[in-house]
Structure 1
Amino acid sequence: MSLSSLLTAKKKELKHCNTVVTNMLGEKYEILGSEMRLIDKGLPFVVDTKPDLQMAMVEPGLYFGSQDPAVNIDILQTHGIRHIISIGIKLEIVFEDIQYNFIDLMDIPEAKISEALKACLGIMRESQGQGIFIHCNAGVSRSASVVIGYLMIKKNLSYDQAYQEVKSIRECIKPNDGFVKQLKALEFSDFSSFF
């Protein structure tokens, strides 16, 4: 049997599948041949339906998570938080004795995670290890991506190693595909530009 006929036979055994694509507006499309059919209109962000008050400890004095702990003074004081880095979320509630920093970053694949990472590293360096809490909306993509990048740089880890370390402390993380691609590209970078 020739390779061509073997491939043709194996191709016939494959199960049919449909491709579903979600755009930046949360619209889901099914691709059928050369046509796209709208199948659902969702939201382009994670809907926060209940408070997520968990703060994942990356290392002593460094935590990350959702925006919910950032507006709870008892949790912040319990963890010794003196600095909050808000990624893409402007907090409406702020407390005295806490320094706030806002990093403008949308949770879309096209956004430049390296710029947010550089800004966060600068803030972390200036805070000299005083309790830091990094958050985004849900603590799933943006803040997790920054923490993964931080560990890659600090511990000289690959993306996969840093991802697994962060996943072990906050199981719900899921950096968007663009952030993953950008962070994987950092594996081959000279990190001196980040310091």
Structure 2
Amino acid sequence: MSFLDQLKAKKKCLKSTVTNITHADGSQKQILLTKTGDEVLETSRVQLKSKTYGFIVDTKPDFVPACISDDFLYLGSQDAVTQENVQKYKFTDILSIGIETPPSDIDSNAIRTHYVACLDLPETCLEAIVRQSNQIICDVHERTGRILIHCNAGVSRSSTICIAYLILEHKMSFDVAFALVKSKRECIRPNDGFLKQLKQMDHSNGV
């Protein structure tokens, strides 16, 4: 038997194999593929019992905001937007960065809400975003109000806005501003593109 004939013979004797298929919604199915002659047949399909998701599930709500500056500037996740926190911390304003103010039980007539569009992508230009956000923050400060700044997780976008505010309005260096915000909320992590732009905002350069 020639080598080619041997390969053809082995091709017809391939072992069955089990393959897991993950769909866009995170659900998974397990299928058994069997080689029969020159055809590959799906001989069985099993829905996996384990609960799976196509995204990270936040199982630990983050309700407590961090006071960043002068008992008026607070940073948190969207979980911190609650009527309880509004009353406890005496918030007068909520600034939502890149995510609409989440539905909650807050009294919208008793607090001002603001929204600034911002994608959490390294290539997002911060100049206009920071200018708009700083104007809102400064206005709250002048009114002697208290503002909660949040995004989705309170890790990248909203922390970036807080750091930019300290650099541009309080004339801090990037290192000092970053260290201050991180000391108040340890989980912060602006994306690499944001970090690069924040470093360029050092008070010696401006924006």
TM-score, normalisation: structure 2 = 0.66
Give the share of equivalent positions with the same residue, in percent: 39
Q: How far apart are residue 53 of structure 1 and its match?
A: 0.8
Residue type of the alignment partner of 1:101: H
Output the aligned Cα RMSD. 1.9
Q: Tell me what 1:148 maps to.
A: 163
Distance in 2 between residues matched to 1:173 and 1:111, nearest whole Å: 18
Q: Tell me what 1:105 maps to.
A: 118
Please list, as runs of the form range in 1=range in 2, the aligned pairs for 1:125-136 lying within 5 A after superposition: 125-127=138-140, 128=142, 129-136=144-151
Q: Over alpha carbons, which structure has the higher Rg?
A: 2
Please list, as runs of the form range in 1=range in 2, the aligned pairs for 1:1-150 lying within 5 A after superposition: 43=55, 47-59=57-69, 60-70=71-81, 72-90=82-100, 91-93=102-104, 94-95=106-107, 96-127=109-140, 128=142, 129-150=144-165
**Are residues 137 and 117 of structure 1, via their aligned partners in 2, closer, same or farther at CA, if it must alter by over 3 Å?**
same
Judge which range, 91-100 or 166-175, deviates more: 91-100
Counterpart of 1:181 (choices 196, 199, 202) is 196
Q: Tell me what 1:13 maps to.
A: none
Q: How far apart are residue 145 of structure 1 and its match?
A: 0.5
| Contact 1:113-1:145 at 8 Å conserved across structures | no
Residue type of the alignment partner of 1:77: Q
TM-score, normalisation: structure 1 = 0.70
Q: How far apart are residue 63 of structure 1 and its match?
A: 0.3
Q: How far apart are residue 186 of structure 1 and its match?
A: 1.1
Q: Deviations over 1:83-102 (max 9, x none)?
A: 00000111223523111111
| Contact 1:62-1:133 at 8 Å conserved across structures | yes
- Secondary structure at the residue paired with 1:63? strand
Runs of 4+ in 1 over 6 A off after TM superposition: none
Q: How far apart are residue 161 of structure 1 and its match?
A: 1.3
Distance in 1 between residues matched to 2:146 and 2:75, nearest whole Å: 11
Q: Deviations over 1:125-149 (max 9, x none)?
A: 2222301000000000001001011
- Secondary structure at the residue paired with 1:48? coil
**Number of equivalences:** 148
Distance in 2 between residues matched to 1:190 and 1:104, nearest whole Å: 22
Distance in 2 between residues matched to 1:85 and 1:116, nearest whole Å: 12
| Contact 2:65-2:75 at 8 Å conserved across structures | yes
Structure 1 position 190 matched with structure 2 position 206: yes
- Bigger RCO of structures 1 and 2 (CA < 8 A, at least 6 apart): 1
